[in-house]
Amino acid sequence: MGANEVVLFQQIELSDIERERTTAAEALIDNLPEADVITSARDQAVAENILERLTLQAPTLFEPEEPRAFTEKVQVNDGFGGRFHADRKFAELVIPFAGDGRPFHFRPPGQHYATVLHASLCANTVRHVISMDHKSVEQGATELSTFWRELKASMEVLRSDLKATNERLRRKVTPVAQ
């Protein structure tokens, strides 16, 4: 795994995020002037304002850019205590996205299998790099397309779980503000 790579959808339990959001919503409601909680005309506006601040959305993935092959010079151990320079072949898949990148770190509870997706996240892109050493072009293309398929599937699970999380938050906030 490269220096800037992270494991996607594995670092933070979505249930922990949900608890943090619920606590934040309760704190916002507790800090409201009493009149804001009592006045029914404003109740829905207060609830919507709180929900707008605390609702999380999954990023929108766009089609990946054309995969790019590249070569890097690296230092390699020769097995006898020495080092030498060698050319390593890589391929990268860059997938643009819109929205907040934080949800890439959330572990969705609806994810029932352990797909481990390594990638770099930067400037609204997901960058997945694979070694092409000892692989054919077809093997590399298959590996990159598998990553893309698994990323989309994981994002759909996350989107569904975030929707359920946001709905539970809505049910908790709305009765308090009414």
pLDDT in tens, 140-173: 999 999 999 999 999 999 999 999 999 988 887 7
Q: Indicate whether 1 belongs to any domain.
A: no
Widest CA span in the chain: 79
Q: Indicate whether 34 belongs to any domain.
A: yes
Query: Which are the contacts of 52, defined by CB distance < 8 A and separation ≥ 6?
Result: none
Q: Is pLDDT at 34 greater than 70 in this prediction?
A: no
> Any bridge partners for residue 92, and if so which?
68, 129
Amino acid identity of 67?
Answer: P
Q: What percent of the chain has pLDDT over 70?
A: 88
SS3 80: coil
Total domains present in the chain: 1
> Any bridge partners for residue 7, and if so which?
118
pLDDT tens digits along 76-128: 888 898 898 889 999 999 999 999 999 999 988 877 666 788 999 988 999 99
> Any bridge partners for residue 83, and if so which?
77
Asked which of 23-27, 33-37, 51-55, 117-121 is least confident by mean pLDDT, the reply is 33-37
Cα dist from 28 to 53, 56, 57, 174, whole Å: 10, 17, 20, 13
Q: Indicate whether 153 belongs to any domain.
A: yes
Q: Is pLDDT at 135 greater than 90 in this prediction?
A: yes
| pLDDT (0 to 100) of residue 60 | 97
Q: How confident is the model at residue 175 (pLDDT cuts 50, 70, 90)?
A: low
Model's pTM, two decimal places?
0.80
Q: DSSP secondary-structure letter at 134?
A: T
Neighbours of 74 (CB within 10 A): 11
State residue 101 phi and psi, 5-degree precision: -85, -10
Angle, helix 40-54 to helix 137-177, in steps of 10 degrees: 160
| pLDDT (0 to 100) of residue 39 | 46
CB 99 within 8 A of CB 58: yes
CB 43 within 8 A of CB 53: no
Q: Indicate whether 113 belongs to any domain.
A: yes
Q: How are beta strands 12-13 and 106-107 bridged, if at all?
A: parallel
Q: Indicate whether 72 belongs to any domain.
A: yes
Domain holding 24, by residue range, is 6-177
Closest CA to 68 of 135, 17, 19, 140: 140
